[in-house]
Amino acid sequence: MPTVHLLDYVAGNIRSLVNAIEKLGYEVDWIRSPEDVPKAEKLILPGVGHFGHCLTQLSQANYLPAIKKHIEEGKPFMGICVGLQALFEGSEEDPEVPGLGLIPSSLTRFDDQDKSVPHIGWNDANTGGKVMYDLRPDSKYYYVHTYKSPYSKGELEAKGWTVATGTYGKGTASA
């Protein structure tokens, strides 16, 4: 059975995530220390809550260098919620706390002048008409987020990133 490694830094209830991973036919192996990260072929970083709190916890536990190295080596990585936000340079949510800086952008809060914030609900993930990591152009995905990555078409792609976008109000959010 293929294995995926899940970083456990006590970031909330991840039982439903483990159930979904196992339903897809993967075994979950837990990362419980920074020394375990190099053993991971496929790494998932879940997250829930506040950007600053998450990054501070990961930093104090000395996970950030190991996570960054894993990604820079081109190994498969999936960040969920704040786990994905950690890849950015920073966030308006806590401007004093830096992110990993792997994605050259900072997260900004949705403007609540023309829409409800946080964004909670079904939306698309526009892949430019192609199937990308099984994100299908005609499918809907469930979002719960208050922050977005400003997006300029082609900018992140030129730096080697694969991007899907979703529009919420006037703002475009990277997915």
| Interval 76-109: pLDDT, tens | 999 988 999 999 999 999 999 999 999 999 999 9
Q: Do 34 and 50 fall within a single domain?
A: yes
**Domain end point (choices 104, 128, 152):** 104
Q: Do 99 and 118 fall within a single domain?
A: no
Q: Do 40 and 19 fall within a single domain?
A: yes
Q: Do 89 and 67 fall within a single domain?
A: yes
Q: In which element (H, E) is residue 172 found?
A: strand 171-174
The distance from CA 69 to its chain's CA centroid, rounded to whole angstroms, is: 16
Q: What is the pLDDT of residue 174?
A: 65
**Domain end point (choices 52, 76, 104):** 104
pLDDT category of residue 13 using cuts at 50, 70 and 90 = low
Q: What is the pLDDT of residue 94?
A: 97
> Domains in the chain: how many in total?
2
Q: Which domain holds residue 167?
A: 110-175
Q: Do 88 and 34 fall within a single domain?
A: yes
Q: Do 83 and 121 fall within a single domain?
A: no
Examine the pLDDT at 127 and tell me if it is beyond 90.
no
Q: Do 4 and 82 fall within a single domain?
A: yes
pLDDT category of residue 162 using cuts at 50, 70 and 90 = confident
Reported residue count of the chain is: 175
Q: Do 99 and 119 fall within a single domain?
A: no
Task: Please state, in angstroms and rounded to a whole number, the distance separating the CA atoms of residues 98 and 90.
Answer: 5
**Domain end point (choices 71, 104, 137):** 104
Note the pTM of the prediction, 2 decimals: 0.89
Q: Do 86 and 125 fall within a single domain?
A: no
Q: In which element (H, E) is residue 30 found?
A: strand 27-31
Q: Do 95 and 141 fall within a single domain?
A: no
Q: Do 114 and 31 fall within a single domain?
A: no
In the chain, what percentage of residues exceed pLDDT 70?
94
Examine the pLDDT at 152 and tell me if it is beyond 90.
no
Position 85: which residue type? Q
CATH number at 75 reads 3.40.50.880
Task: Please state, in angstroms and rounded to a whole number, the distance separating the CA atoms of residues 78 and 31.
Answer: 14
- Where would I find the beta strands (DSSP E) of 64-139? 77-79, 88-91, 103-109, 119-124
Task: Please state, in angstroms and rounded to a whole number, the distance separating the CA atoms of residues 67 and 46.
Answer: 12
